[in-house]
Amino acid sequence: MPAPTPPALGASSGRILIIDDEPVVADVLGTLLRKEGHEVVVAQDAATGRREVESGAPFDAVLLDVMLPDADGLDVLRWFHERQPDTAVLMITAFGTVENAVTAMKLGAFHYLTKPFKNEEVRALVGQALRTSQLAAEVKDLRRALEERHRFERIVGKSRAMQEVYRLIDQVAQSRATVLIYGESGTGKELVAQAIHRRSSRADKPFMVVNSHSIPTELLEDNLFGHLRGAFTGANAAKIGLIEVADGGTVLFDEISTVAPEVQTKLLRVIQEREFLPLGSLESRTVDVRIIAATNEDLQRLIEQGRFREDLYYRLNVISITLPPLRDRMEDVPVLAQHFLEKFNAENRKDVKRFSPEVLERFLAYPWPGNVRELENVVERGVVLAQGEEIGLDLLPKDLWRRITLPEPVPLPEGVRFYDAVGRFERQLIESALRRSGGVQKHAAELLGLKPTTLNEKIKRLGIRT
């Protein structure tokens, strides 16, 4: 049996589905395409074609007859694009009307073949269709790769400050050193701790979080170190503490500044000696846990006030990571907003596609006192309340309006020339939008309500450096 002919220059082999109820046509097409080195699957009706799509690997191209015994080929085209939107579909018909061709192209068909067709025409169109599908897949992969560049574990941000945070996480993850994470409420301190744990050799062991600010001292001590039976009134059974449960893993102390002095002493022993004493016990137990602490307080100030142990501070502060507030990395706002849009679309089964330019402008003018958590809540509200594909100003909470300071009116100088003033103002607007968007022209164009090409032309005309 002769070897199949390799695909034409510039094309590559692919998986192709033929849906045609005429056995002769399907056989001719199948033979022709197999000789080109393609994998070919043939279906003689819409139902069989649908089963092939749903049960196997994705197809790189489809040849679809307009007239099928059990369905309209145009309806099958619509159905197919819902499931494999990046796959090129070639429509085949013996009734080559302009109306059918236009309808098929509007519905997303790659091209239109009229029976009887020439073999060279089929080869050429299938080759083009495969290249189109492969290009769409490459674009999707590139877009995914670009998105991943702005994401680190579950942390999102492309700013220089966040890149430094990512670098530190990578450097410290594999060590046994304690880590102290500074940051305002809502900046994502727990996410950083989780990232350190997941990138460490302890990743398959427990990650436990201690929220000490909401637990009384006696209960916190018991929860952390456990107790023996009879250690105190009501201790009818022994209890294993959280520190022992996390053996081999990581414990995050959220808001370490709220831990009482007596618990600080025991925590220091865990870090220094890797041992602890359950309540009611005279024998120490050894434990191997990594301690990570997070705080939004100035611990050195608390040391001066006698509220935090200095020796514990130095044990915790072997490696420190500072998370910047969102107002200091505004170029991350559009990236974060888009991330949360996708997240809450999935959670709420919505299909909100974008923010209006006015909303993005508000996002970039707002100081975000609640940091990333506040932005997340605002986007969630917008997605839940949105009735269409866009989140508009009407869906923003009132606080977002009240905290924004609008610029004062510009005084009119004497002898001003209109077009000179307009030119200067145009330059200021564009430069401001570029600063707010971190130099990304696409985001700047959205802020200004311009097409990216229009903004690019203005930047070149005004000689603005980007």
Residues in Cβ contact with 291 at an 8 Å cutoff, skipping those fewer than 6 apart:
178, 250, 251, 253, 267, 270, 271, 316
Q: Are residues 382 and 281 in the same domain?
A: no
Q: Which of 146, 167, 193 finishes a domain? A: 146
Q: Are residues 180 and 279 in the same domain?
A: yes
- What's the rounded Cα separation, in Å, for the pair 365 and 297? 27
Location of structure tokens 């609008």: 406
Q: Are residues 169 and 318 in the same domain?
A: yes
Does residue 164 sit within a domain?
A: yes
- Residue pair 34/59 in contact (Cβ under 8 Å)? The answer is no
Overall domain count for the chain: 4
Does residue 3 sit within a domain?
A: no
pLDDT given at position 1:
38
Rounded mean pLDDT for each run of 10 residues along the chain, 466 residues in total: 40 82 90 90 91 84 89 88 83 70 78 83 88 75 54 80 91 94 94 94 93 82 88 84 93 93 92 92 91 94 92 94 92 90 92 90 88 95 94 86 54 61 77 77 77 83 81
Q: Are residues 252 and 359 in the same domain?
A: no
Written as six digits, the tokens of 221 are 């001590």
Written as six digits, the tokens of 35 are 């000789």
Q: Are residues 170 and 301 in the same domain?
A: yes
pLDDT given at position 419:
63
Helices 441-448, 418-436: crossing angle, 10 deg rounding: 130
Q: Are residues 109 and 202 in the same domain?
A: no
Beta bridge partners of 40: 16
pLDDT given at position 7:
41
- What's the rounded Cα separation, in Å, for the pair 268 and 258? 15
Average pLDDT, the chain: 84
User: 335 lies in which domain range?
Assistant: 327-402
Q: Which of 281, 303, 324 finishes a domain? A: 324
